[in-house]
Amino acid sequence: MAAKALRAAEHVCVLTGAGISAESGIPTFREAQTGLWAKFSPQELATPQAFASHPSRVWQWYAMRRAMVRAAQPNPGHAALLSLALRVAHCTIVTQNVDDLHERSGVREPIRLHGSLMHIRCSQGCAGSVPAPEEATAEVPKCPQCGGLMRPDVVWFGEGLPMGPFGAAREAAVACDVFLSVGTSNIVEPAASLPWISATHGATVIVVNPTMEGQRKGPSILPIEGPAGVMLPRLIAEAFAGRRPRRQAE
């Protein structure tokens, strides 16, 4: 049923979570507390207050996480989502992840609900963001406009999701024929509401996750239990067997 729904869909909205990145060896947010960082909780390193009190400590933790991302590679789950995007009329990929594996797999401009680990912005509110430095340094860069400290361009505890990306994600959830949830528990709001908003507007919701614990159930919700890197390639291959891509990857 899931493959049949995908093949018939004109607009697919995909939501990815930490599970798909974990299959590339990127630790989940809380799993990143290892080695020298084991004595800190994420809340001590991922809040505006933590950065204001200990900017160098927070900067170095994010530099460590950024190095892990740069050492990782997109996995077959990422490749399958690119294949999907090339085969349907319209595909919106929304991610809760802050790594750049979707882009490196060939996906263009995913909607980022929690920002990007690979970019930094001014902590004092100057507009825009820039790529994070390639080299890991203990010294926190300064904003070229105001001289304030630059911070990771991610959403911290206590901060709201950027309304532009979340609004675009909600619009896609309402408009799509199929909503594909990948590697996320669908528990943390407000992103967790997206598949169920989609279901109430008539879409088929396909959930691909190693466990279905905590996931909603219903006649329009199709569970596929297992890792994204295994289940997504199978699903996309079955759905589009014999169908050529509508467009080429760039």
Which run of H or E residues covers position 81?
A: helix 76-85
User: Helix, strand, or coil here: 28?
Assistant: coil
- Residue 19 CA, chain-centre distance (Å), reads 10
How far apart CA 154 and CA 112 sit, in angstroms, is 9
φ, ψ of residue 234 to 5 degrees: the values are: -65, -45
Residue 26's Cβ-count burial label (10 Å; 0-12, 13-18, 19+) is buried
* Helix or strand run (H / E) with residue 162: none
Catalytic residues: 114
- The Cα–Cα gap between 224 and 153 comes to 33
